[in-house]
Structure 1
Amino acid sequence: MSTTTTLPAWQLSDQDLTTRLLTTQRQQNTAYAAQLETIREVESRGAIPEGYSSTAAYLATILHVTPREARARLAQATGSLPLTWKALTEGEITAQHAAVIAEFLADAPRWLTPEDYTVAEDTLVTLAAQANPGTVRRAATRLKIYWDNDPAEMPGSSPAPGLDPDASSGTDAGSDAASARPWREFRWHWTRTGRFRFTGNVDQETGTLIEQLLVPLAAPDPATTPDTPDPRTPAERHGDAIAAIVDLAARAPDLPSKAGERAVATVTVDLETLQSTAKAVFTDDESVLPASHLRRILCDARVYPAVLGTEGQVLDLGRSARTATNAQRRALAIRDRGCTFPGCDRSPKWTTPHHIVHWANGGATDLDNLASCCERHHRLLHHSGWQILLRDGVVYWIPPSLLDPEQKPLRNTAHNPPPTPLGHSRWQAATPRPAAAPHPSAAAS
């Protein structure tokens, strides 16, 4: 038995702590699969002691779970989920993933062929192996919309709470003026420690829009294990969400210009310093910027190379190096469909083009050297051991050895389109899907 499983956690190294987290999560996954197999056998035998009205009632009592959870586990154990069962048995997905997939496929249209059903399950299981259950649920929702083909049933069509779309904006002059010029305030200042502090308030319509942006962007990161939730506080998560919104706005094509062009920061740094491990550089407003942050910012910035003489005079100020063009951004949106980090479902509008080979190291602003990253994973790429590569037009992320000693390249499947039905259309007769899968032991073989 390895030391990572026998020693107390406080005696483990940082790397061994991560190894134990990953190992124990896989153990939880396989243990849950073993429990489902047992539940299926109990149900098939009818091995319920006298005094219990059903298998679900028996499970709720002896496992100390709610009746709803007992029914859910029974459904997972007896349903037609061979691919889900296999992934769970191998420890690749969690109990929450299995619950989301089982709940969704239980409500799948009856006109689906068995092949359609299998393709849909495979799509969700593949995504579950790299994404959190919330992302899998959103993918399942998109698949359901695709199946239903009914825009009226798409989520998000209802008005925001507190807003009546049919309500009048008021008839008096005061309300008309308020509608034409709503009351909004924003105050800000720089602190001595270089922080940007702000306060303010906005009208209800703008506040609702901000809330709708913040809620999905400030969602907690998926937990590595049930006992390791996102360490960020709600305020910190909302701060990261604001940073993502500002990052998107800064890249808007119609952003007002300053001195004839969009936001510009002039940084004086020689190429050797930028390529090296320098800790800090100075901007034109005399503030200090970590060199690692500068390298990340320059991935999508307008760069002005300046040649300086020995006395510091400017000998030549070159033209700004071209960043990704609008045509390239559109091509990336088609190719990558959004952030390329495994399991991330941020759409193209929330991403920036990242140079796979940094421009300072000779990387060109070409499609075969660009990859789409959202603000959060762009930062992760620059400040962690993750790396990326492009192979046959597909972006792969290579995890640090701490997370995967083999460093297997991972491909994001969160943006994959819903699988096209393989059989007849929904309006024609179709072979009904199987009511139950083979016994779990056979499905896992």
Structure 2
Amino acid sequence: MSTTTTLPAWQLSDRDLTSRLLTTQRQQNVAYAAQLETIRELEARGALPEGYTSTSAYLATILHVTLREARARIAQATGTLPLTWKALSAGEITAQHAAVIAEFLADAPRWLTPEDYTVAEDTLVTLAAQANPSVVRRAATRLKIYWDNDPADVPGSPDLDHGLDPDSVPDAGSDSDSGSRREEAARPWREFRWQWTQAGRFRFSGNVDHETGTLIEQLLVPLAAPDPATTPDTPDPRTPSERHGDALAAIVDLAARTPDLPAKAGERAVATVTVDLETLRSTAKTVVAEDESVLSAAGLRRILCDAKVYPAVLGTEGQVLDLGRSARTATNAQRRALAIRDRGCTFPGCDRSPKWTTPHHIVHWAHGGPTDLNNLASCCERHHRLLHHSGWKIVLRDQAVHWIPPSILDPEQKPLRNTAHNPPPAPLGHSPRQAARPRPAPAPPPSAAAS
């Protein structure tokens, strides 16, 4: 037995403390997999002591957990989750990860093929190995939204196929668009309520449609950024809500006296949407914007009527081939290229979208690193700071950013690629006319002891 595992924590070095944390977490994950294996066998045998009417009631009593938690563990133990079982038994994901994945897949549409089901599980398990359960849950929610769209709206659906005509509207009897949808497109629902208080303050509230909300957000974000600190000990004293209030005041002031718009990273508000021509031609398909919202192709075309559109030349593997030129700091074109290539912060497990990131020189400018796409990576503020003040390093391999952890976290220092921004896997058989296909039979989980 290692001395590290027997010594009291106060006798360990800083490095050994981290090593014990990682080891004990892995052991805890493996132990949970062993417990689920036991629950599965208990449920299969029906081996309940006299006086208990259900396995869940028995587990809640002897494990001192709630009945809801007991039922959740039974669902995890008896579900069809071979990839989750494998990762959990190897100690690579936690009990919370397993719970999120099991809950999501239990509600998966019945029309999914076994291949769809496996791809979805693999997507979430891969992300779980590098991200916390909250990020995995958001990815699962994103996938659910993608699945829950009307079958005619899912890429690959064999339904309607309209030409690229912004004025084309389906017939009144078409199932793909109702009268209420056409009315919403012509006159979106927006509300704004305001009043003057006795103290002379202007109070307001309301809500707007998605397209207007996206524009407002794009205007607020750059103007609400914290002011640079004059010294390390004097950060911006304003709260986030105060900064957004000041940003709104600036927008109103600009609108009152000039047609100029606020700048975001040096240019007017820009939203990046990656879409192929085939999808843009069809009103029956959907696209995912950089904020992970799902838009119809028709809705996207409405946005593009008033937007600045930048075409990008993409290679067969999706890498940006021609967009942007080198400079001391990243140009606007390079920022758009990074948004397309990186899709957001590149740190493993981070799901911050492009608007929350800044370009980072992989080889620092002061050390001779050029400002071109092959030497830039998108990082959010938190992970940009981590990169400068820890042992993490960045490399670019096959047009994908990989992070190399410090040896204290991984002695082998295996490069990690972020999968939090990967698009939802396209279902193979999304059509209401297809009969539901049977799910694969639950496979016995791998023995946790073998890990």
Q: Which band: TM-score by shorter chain?
A: 0.5 to 0.7
- Which residue does the alignment assign to 1:129? 129
Which of 198, 204, 214 is matched with 2:237 structurally?
Answer: 198
Letter in 2 for 1:351: T
> How much has 1:430 moved relative to structure 2?
4.0
Q: Given that residues 357 and 378 in structure 2 are in contact (C-alpha distance below 8 angstroms), is that contact kept between their aligned partners in structure 1? A: yes
Amino acid at match of 1:370: L
Cα distance, 1:72 vs structure 2: 0.2
Q: Read off the aligned partner of 1:361 and give its amino acid letter.
A: H
Change beyond 3 A, Cα 1:434–1:357: same
Partner of 1:372, secondary structure, is: strand
Matches within 5 A, 1:88-237: 88-149=88-149, 168-170=193-195, 178=202, 194-196=233-235, 198=237, 206=245
C-alpha distance in 2, partners of 1:77/1:190? 52
Q: 2:327, 2:372 within 8 Å by CA — same for their partners in 1?
A: no
Deviations 1:95-147 (A, max 9, x none): 00000000011111111011000000000000000000000000000000000
Residue in 2 aligned with 1:438? 443
Q: How far apart, in 1, do the equivalents of 2:121 and 2:127 lie? A: 10
Instruction: Render the CA deviation track for 1:198-218: whole Å, top value 9, x for unaligned.
Output: 368979x949x9xxxxxxxxx
> Which residue of structure 2 aligns with residue 24 of structure 1?
24
Structure 2 residue 343 is the aligned partner of structure 1 residue 351 = no
State, as a whole percentage, how many aligned pairs show the same letter.
74
Q: Is the CA contact 1:345–1:414 (under 8 Å) kept in the aligned structure 2? A: yes
1: CA distance, partners of 2:112 / 2:334: 38
Q: CA deviation at 1:440?
A: 1.2
Q: Structure 2 vs 1, CA of residues 404 and 146 (structure 1 numbering), >3 Å: closer, same or farther? A: same
Distance 2:241 2:24 in 1: 47
Distance 1:48 1:30 in 2: 25
The one-letter code matched in structure 2 to 1:362 is G
- TM-superposed CA distance for 1:177, in Å, is 8.7
Distance change (3 Å), C-alpha of 1:375 and 1:38: same
* CA positional deviation for 1:61: 0.4
- What SS does the aligned partner of 1:22 have? helix
Correspondence list, 1:3-18, <5 A: 3-18=3-18
Distance across 2 between alignment mates of 1:27 and 1:179: 54
CA distance in 1, matches of 2:232, 2:388: 24
1:425 maps to: 430
Secondary structure of the residue that 1:353 maps to in structure 2? Answer: strand
For residues 372 and 94 of structure 1, do their structure 2 counterparts lie closer, same or farther at Cα, with a shift above 3 Å needed?
Answer: same
- Structure 1 window deviating more from structure 2 (361-370 vs 425-434): it is 425-434
* Deviation for aligned residue 1:166: 5.2
TM-score by length of 2: 0.65
Contact 2:265 / 2:332 at 8 angstroms: preserved in 1?
no
AA matched with 1:143: L
Q: Call closer, same or farther: CA 1:434–1:334 in 2, change over 3 Å.
A: same
Distance change in 2, residues 1:69/1:252 (3 Å): farther
The two structures have a TM-score, normalised by structure 1, of: 0.66
| Aligned mates of 1:373, 1:192 — CA distance in 2 | 23
- Contact preservation (8 Å) 2:18, 2:409: yes
How much is the aligned-residue C-alpha RMSD, in angstroms?
A: 3.5
- Native 8 Å contact 1:189 1:198 kept in 2: no
Gaps of 5+ in 2: 152-188, 205-226, 249-261, 270-325
Provide Cα deviations, 1:316-347, integer angstroms capped at 9, x if missing partner.
xxxx9531111111111111000000000000
Query: Aligned residue for 2:294?
Result: none
Gaps of 5+ in 1: 152-163, 181-187, 210-247, 256-319
1:334 aligns with 2:340: yes
| Partner Cα distance (2:228, 2:98) in 1 | 49
Cα distance in 2 for residues equivalent to 1:106 and 1:322: 51
Shift of 1:439: 1.4
Q: Which portions of structure 1, spanning 4 or more consecutive aligned residues, are displaced by more than 4 angstroms? A: 164-168, 172-177, 188-194, 199-203, 442-445
Structure-2 separation of matches of 1:98 and 1:141:
15
